[in-house]
């Protein structure tokens, strides 16, 4: 990936947009915040970081889910096979079956990429979402439900919070526990 603007110069998400989409509200838009670490050598000073956020139906890829917009963006930047990449996605909905399959294909083509996904909710609207998450997990992606610490990190990193501290919503820990158990059950169940 080519160097982009410094993280502090990157556009930031509106506070209400973050709260509406990363809380337990059931908004239909998917927002995806990303951090891409590029390891160019063994020295810690040889690491570059790229950050940003996308939403589904983002320009210049209208009609795409946020994950596909991200894959289009990272693929168009060109990944150097000689470098190692750690990609962390913070997403308001876990990937649907089709997006999970595209992420699996991406990981298959890019053995030098490690993928971590933190989701606020499980996208269980369409049939096949469970198998999509399992195949993504089998491909080496680490999938977790976001904790209040990850949400705080997103608030501080991707949101134009104007100096306001992150305030976790009322039932954040309860939701985390329920969704973590559900995700673990999905990932540890054999598909048909």
Give the active site residues: 67
Q: Where are the beta strands (DSSP E) in the chain?
A: 31-39, 47-55, 84-93, 113-121, 142-145
- Residue 60 preceded by cis peptide, ω within 30: yes
What are the b/e assignments for 13-27, b being 16+ CB within 10 Å? beeebbbebbbeeee
Instruction: Give me 123's structure tokens.
Output: 């996208």
Q: How far apart are CA 26 and CA 56, in angstroms?
A: 15
Which residues have a Cβ under 8 Å from the Cβ of 192 and sit 6 or more positions away? none
Joined tokens for residue 154: 């997103």
Q: Which residue has 């990936």 as its token pair?
A: 1
Q: Which residues, at least 6 apart from 17, have a Cβ–Cβ distance to it below 8 Å? A: 31
**What single DSSP character describes residue 8?**
G
């Amino acid at each position: 990936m080519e160097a982009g603007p410094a993280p502090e110069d990157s556009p930031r998400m509106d506070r209400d947009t973050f709260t509406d989409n990363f809380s337990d509200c059931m908004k239909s838009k998917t927002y995806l915040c990303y951090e891409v670490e590029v390891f160019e050598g063994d020295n810690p000073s040889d690491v570059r970081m790229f950050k940003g956020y996308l939403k589904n139906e983002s320009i210049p890829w209208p009609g795409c889910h946020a994950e596909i917009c991200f894959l289009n963006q990272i693929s168009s930047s060109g990944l150097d096979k000689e470098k190692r990449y750690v990609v962390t996605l913070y997403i308001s909905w876990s990937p649907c079956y089709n997006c999970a399959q595209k992420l699996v294909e991406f990981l298959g083509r890019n053995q030098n990429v490690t993928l971590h996904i933190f989701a606020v909710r499980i996208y269980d609207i369409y049939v096949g979402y469970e198998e999509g998450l399992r195949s993504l997990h089998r491909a080496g992606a680490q999938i977790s439900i976001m904790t209040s610490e990850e949400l705080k990190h997103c608030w501080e990193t991707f949101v134009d919070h104007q100096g306001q501290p992150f305030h976790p919503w009322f039932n954040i820990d309860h939701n985390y526990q329920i969704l973590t158990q559900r995700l673990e059950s999905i990932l540890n169940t054999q598909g048909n």
